[in-house]
Amino acid sequence: MLGLMMDAPLLIPSILEYAAKYHPNTEIVSRNEDHSLHRYTYAEALVRTRKLANALNRLGLKAGDRVATLAWNNYRHLEMYYAVPGAGMVCHTVNPRLFKEQIEYIINDAQDQYIFTDPCFAPLVEAMIMNLPSVKGVVVMGSREQMPGNILHRALCYEDLLVAESPVFEWPQFDERTASGLCYTSGTTGHPKGVLYSHRSTVLHAMAINQPGLFGFGPDETVMPVVPMFHVNAWCVPYAAPLVGARLVLPGPRLDGPGLLEVIRGEGVTVSAGVPTIWMNLLNHCAQTNQSVAPMRRVVIGGAAVPQVLIDGFAAHQALAVQGWGMTETSPLGAVSVLDTRHDDLPAEDRMALQLKAGRSPFGIEMRITDAEGKALPWDGKTRGELEVRGPWVASAYYNLDDRDQFTKDGWFRTGDISTIDADGFMNIVDRVKDVIKTGGEWISSIELENLALQHPSVREAAVIARADTKWSERPRFILALHPGKTITGAELRKVVEPFVARWWIPEDFIVVDEIPHTATGKILKTALRELYGVENHPDAQKM
């Protein structure tokens, strides 16, 4: 017997309609390329979004067509987030910091019909356009004055498109499983793969992250997604914040320490989200200039392991740093490390040990760890296996790619992360399958070693890679970037690591570099480090 409740589809535009109706005067503040601020309200955003939907139809775009964006976190990008899927098309957020060849590959794979670009990426689009046969037109997301002069002659102007349109638009009603957004993995471990979100997965995920203890935004908060809108829908923050009527701050391109602090303090940001490197830069800037991160009181950090210095650093400003784990394929939220009352009486170091884990799944995500034969492994906090997940906002396949190896026959997604899970369900990532260091047949956790190295005050950033070894096949090696003017000796490094790990885990040597290379989304590019520093005897290696 079926229930007798209404079958209202979960569609993305309903979020903005809701915000405009119940929080019409709540502000969206957006920082432009020239660092000036643009302000408007949810009510005004909705009017422009409806106009944009009309403009998309006028361009001849049809249901299911892919529309690419190359844009920072700004209000026009937000309008695209709602108008494109709302009108039935698919919003393909492209990461402009990938290599040109990778962007071309992604746009051709997606067969995008139009590109909507920030003015600053116009030269990039111009350089690629001849290699993008599916693209019928380019729209520059700016006013007439911001149109590029001598390139992209036939590009359309976003503001001109909107002026011509009516603010009346009836959002079409369709199956909530309709595709809404497309995002390619950043390709840290291989060719980028397309993840195709649906209206249902996006709305459910936005509702899920708003639970207390997760992102849990409220109407009294000012929320700033620092994670870019071209990276996993900015972790869905641009959908989750309007859903509860929170004030939204979109920081634009300037994401260095001073740039972030200016907008946090100037606009009263209370909660934010982003990858660890961004926050390291912010805290370093605060320390150098003796300023606080107030009024920011909560930061969700994920995308890479969160080191203790970051949690301690925010705590020193009375701000709570919450670690989350996720992937492009999981929309992204898969786990959050939030303590509960049972942990109140634990000693400080035990509480910290939990905060350093990736955390527990929210309702909606199931996880398990498996061995090489696919057998489920125990949740004892020690046994390591490949992490597998499933749930209504986890990818069931890749777009335009038959990659069955990543999906199990019984319906789980294989993450490629190696992890442990303890009896309480706290999951801890110890490595990625491709980064794993196997020495004499045993695994070493590079993440654990990296976190220990960061305890040394001279170390700004740490990576552990596998180097070749005649006897053990692979051995770990530290690659370190130091704070300006600081030094480190092998003996000092050994001292911070030695008490906490087995003797055979301790690397024999380390290399100090000026900068550690990062992926377009701010993660350490281990493939590049292995290529540069992976030989057994490297001339720059110092003994430890």
- Which residues are designated catalytic? 185, 329, 438, 443
Integer Cα distance of 226 and 270 in angstroms? 13
Radius of gyration of the chain (CA): 24
Min separation Cβ 523 and ligand ADP, Å: 6
Considering the complex, state which of residue 198 and residue 415 has its C-beta at the smaller distance from ligand ADP: 415
| Chosen residue from 30, 146, 188, 202 binding ligand ADP by CB under 6 A | 188
How many residues does the structure list for the chain? 544
Give 455's DSSP letter: T
Helix ranges (H only) for 181-332 are 199-209, 237-243, 257-267, 276-289, 308-315
Minimum CB distance to ligand ADP, residue 336 (Å): 9
Task: Fill in the per-residue mask, 389 to 428: x = in contact with ligand ADP (CB under 6 A), - = not in contact.
Answer: --------------------------xxx-----------
Question: If binding is defined by CB under 6 A, does position 201 make contact with ligand ADP?
Answer: no
- Least CB distance from residue 189 to ligand ADP, whole Å? 6
Please, which residue, 310 or 493, has the CB nearer to ligand ADP? 310
Nearer Cβ to ligand ADP, position 232 or 511? 232
Give the three-class secondary structure for 87. Answer: coil
CA–CA separation, 318 and 126 (whole Å): 47
Toward ligand ADP, which CB reaches closer, 187 or 362?
187
323 binds ligand ADP (CB under 6 A): yes
Distance (Å, whole) CA 165 – CA 222: 31
Contact (Cβ atoms closer than 8 angstroms) between residue 128 and residue 152: no
Segment interacting with ligand ADP, rule: CB under 6 A, options 220-228, 237-245, 302-310, 509-517: 302-310
Q: Verify binding: residue 281, ligand ADP, rule CB under 6 A.
A: no
Q: What are the phi and psi torsion angles at 351 (to 5°)?
A: -65, -40
Check binding of 237 to ligand ADP (CB under 6 A): no
CA 358 – CA 508 distance, rounded (Å): 29
Piece of the chain touching ligand ADP by CB under 6 A; list 38-46, 99-107, 222-230, 324-332: 324-332
If binding is defined by CB under 6 A, does position 523 make contact with ligand ADP? yes
CB 322 within 8 A of CB 297: no
209 contact partners, CB below 8 Å, separation of at least 6: 215, 216, 235, 236, 240, 333, 362
Sign of CA dihedral 525, 528, 534, 537: negative
Q: How far is the C-alpha of 222 from the C-alpha of 234, rounded, in Å? A: 16
Q: Does 265 bind ligand ADP (CB under 6 A)?
A: no
Q: Of residues 146, 328, 361, 446, which one binds ligand ADP by CB under 6 A?
A: 328
> Which of 504, 508, 511, 502 is CA-nearest to residue 539?
511
**Given candidates 74, 146, 186, 277, which one binds ligand ADP under the rule CB under 6 A?**
186
Q: Which of 56, 78, 152, 429 binds ligand ADP (CB under 6 A)?
A: 429
Q: Site for ligand ADP (CB under 6 A): how many residues?
A: 22
Least distance from ligand ADP to the Cβ atom of residue 282, Å: 18
For ligand ADP, the closer of residues 231 and 467 by Cβ is 231
Nearest residue to 356 (alpha-carbon basis) of 313, 318, 310? 310
Closest to 333 (Cα-Cα) out of 152, 204, 507, 160? 204
Q: Please identify, using beta-carbon distances, which residue of 114 and 325 lies nearer to ligand ADP.
A: 325
Can you give the binding site for ligand ADP, defined by CB under 6 A?
Answer: 185-188, 302-306, 323, 325-328, 358, 415-417, 429, 432, 521, 523
